[in-house]
Amino acid sequence: MSTTTPTTQQNPTYSEAFQSGVREEMKLNPNIFILGTDLVERGGHFAQVKGIAQEFGVDRVKDSPISEAAMVAAGLGSAMYGCHPIIDLNFIDFSLGAMDEIINQAAKIRFMFNRPVPLVIRATSGVALGGAHHCNSLESLFAHTAGLSVAVPSRAYDVKGLIKTALRSPDPVIFLMHKKLSGVRGEIGDENTFIPFGSAHRVKSGKDAAIISYGYTIVSAQKAAQTLAEQGIDVEIIDLRTLYPLDTDTINATVQKFGRVVVADEAPMFGSITAEIAATASEVNFRHLKGPIVRVGAARAPLSANPQMSEAAIPSANDLVEAVKKVMSY
C-alpha cells in the first residue's frame, strides 16, 4: 500500500493523468493504439486523450464509427494479433452493445487458446447527471467474469499508475474512470511508477472502524470521516483501486484490525461487489468481527434524470456516517 499524496492547483487532472500514462507507454510501445469516437480533434468526451493524436498521428489514435461491437472486436482481434489497443467506449453504458465481444470472446481466449489478449477497454463510469442510459454501474458484472480485470481509480495518481500497468499486461482490462472525477487534480507518479492491480490504497488511517470503497464513493467517505471525527470517531478509509484482482490481504487485515467495517459503492446493492467483499470477509474473519459488515450501495432501480431522484438513489456522505455509527454500536 502507498500513502496519500498532497494536491495542488498545478497538478494534472484525473483525465490528464490518463493522457500522461498513455503517452509514456505509447512512446515505448509502438503497438499501442487508441480507437474510439471523437478522439482525434475533440480528445475524447472527457479530454482523456486530448493532444495524443496531434503527437502520435491518426494511425495511432483512430476515430471510430459508432459501432461498439466492432470497436471491441477490432481491439480483441488486433490484441490477439500482437497489438496493445485501448478501446475507448466513452461511457461504460455503451459496452452493453459489445457484451458478447467482451464477455464471451475477450475474457475467454486465454483460457481456451492459451493466447494473451493485451486489450484495454476504457470507459467513463459512475453516477452523475444523464439518467438511465448513462449511469449504469456495471463493474460487478465485469469483476464477475473470469478472464477480466477491472480498474476503478479514484484519483489522478492511480489513473496514471494503473493505466501504465494495464498497458504492460497481457490480459484484458476494463478501465473505469468516474465522470465526477474527470477534472479533479492530484499529483501523479513518474514514468517508472506502476501501480500493481490488486493493491489497495489506504486513503486515511483510523483507530475505530474502516470504510472500504472505490471510485467516487471515496470522496463521500472522506466527507463522512470529517463528520465522524467531529463526533469522536476515527475512521480508516481503504480505496480498493481494482475490483479484480481484489486486494483480499488488505481487506482481511482491515477486518481483523477493526472488526467494524463498512463496504460501500454506488452500484445497486443486489448482487454487487460489496456483497462479494462482505461475504468473503465474513467467512474468513468471522471471529474478528464485532458485528455484521454493513454494506452501503444504490437502490435496485434505474437512475432517474432528475438530479434529486438520482442523488436519493445512491449513497451520500451522510449514509456512510450512519453506517459507521451502526458498526460502532456493536
Partner 1 sequence: MTTDSKWGKETLRQMLLIRNFEETADKLTLRGKVPGGMHNSSGQEAVAVGVMSALDPKDVIATTHRSHHHTIAKGMPVNIVMAELFTKATGCSGGRGASMHLADVENGHFGGNGIVGAGVGIAMGAALGIKQMGHKKVAVGFVGDGGVNTGRTWEAVNMAVIYKLPLIIIVDNNQYAVETFVERVTGGNDIAKRGAGFGLPSFTIDGQDVEEVHKHTSEARNRALAGEGPTFINALTYRYYGHNVGEKGQYRTQEEIADWRSHRDPIDRFSAKLISEGALTQADYEAMIKSVAKEIEEAVDFAEKSPLPDVSTILDGVDSGLLGARK
Ligand X SMILES: Cc1ncc(C[n+]2csc(CCOP(=O)(O)OP(=O)(O)O)c2C)c(N)n1
Binding stretches for partner 1 (CB under 8 A):
37-38, 41-42, 63-70, 93-94, 96-97, 129-134, 299-302, 304-309, 312-313
Greatest extent of the chain over all pairs of C-alpha atoms, in Å: 59
Closest by alpha carbon to 181, among 157, 197, 204, 209? 157
HSE toward the beta carbon, residue 248, CA cutoff 13 A: 13
Q: Which does 1 bind (CB under 5 to 8 A by kind): partner 1, ligand X, none?
A: none
Single out the residue of 177, 124, 160, 171 nearest to residue 24, CA to CA: 160
For partner 1, the closer CB: 298 or 327: 298
Measured from the CB of residue 125, what is the shortest distance to ligand X in angstroms?
14
Closer residue to ligand X in complex, CB, 46/94: 94
Q: Which is nearer to ligand X, 135 or 262 (CB)?
A: 135
Three-state secondary-structure class, residue 237: strand
Beta strand 235-239 with 201-204: parallel, antiparallel or unpaired? antiparallel
Task: Pick one of ligand X, partner 1, none as the site partner of residue 196 (Cβ within 5 to 8 A by kind).
Answer: none
The CA distance from 269 to 211, in Å, is 16
Among the options 84, 133, 134, 144, which is catalytic? 134
Q: How far is the CB of 95 from ligand X (least distance, A)?
A: 9
Residue 134 known to be catalytic: yes
Q: Does residue 97 interact with ligand X by CB under 6 A?
A: yes
How far is residue 109's CA from residue 99's CA, in Å, rounded to a whole number?
A: 15
Cβ-based nearer residue to partner 1, 160 or 178: 178
Residue 129's binding partner among ligand X, partner 1, none (Cβ under 5 to 8 angstroms by kind) is partner 1
- Which of ligand X, partner 1, none sits in contact with 309, Cβ below 5 to 8 A by type? partner 1
Nearer to ligand X among residue 77 and residue 97 (C-beta): 97
If you write DSSP's letter for every residue of 298-324 in order, what string do you get? E-SSPPPSSHHHHHHHS--HHHHHHHH
- Binding to ligand X by residue 37, rule CB under 6 A? yes
Cβ–Cβ < 8 Å for 262, 296:
yes
Q: How far is the CB of 131 from ligand X (least distance, A)?
A: 11
Contact 106, 119 (CB under 8 A): yes
Q: Does 124 bind ligand X (CB under 6 A)?
A: no
Q: Which residue from 299, 296, 260, 298 is spatially nearest to 281, judged by alpha carbons? A: 260
Buried/exposed 68-100: b ≥16 CB within 10 Å, e otherwise: beebbbbbbbbbbeebbbbbbbbbbbbbebbbe
- Region binding ligand X by CB under 6 A among candidate stretches 7-15, 89-97, 114-122, 167-175: 89-97
- Residues 262 and 258: their CA atoms lie apart, in Å, by 11
Residue placing its CB nearer to ligand X in the complex, 90 or 137: 90
Identify which range of 57-65, 90-98, 153-161, 286-294 contacts ligand X by CB under 6 A.
90-98
Minimum CB–partner distance for residue 77 and ligand X (Å): 20
Residue 300: CB minimum distance to partner 1, A? 7
User: Among 66, 129, 146, 229, which residue sits at the site for ligand X (rule: CB under 6 A)?
Assistant: 66
Q: How far is the CB of 38 from ligand X (least distance, A)?
A: 7
**C-beta of residue 290 within 8 angstroms of C-beta of residue 327:** yes
* Residue 68 found at the interface with ligand X (CB under 6 A): yes
Q: What phi and psi values does residue 81 have, to the nearest 5 degrees?
A: -80, -20
Positions that interact with ligand X (CB under 6 A)? 37, 66, 68, 90, 94, 97
- Catalytic residue numbers read 134
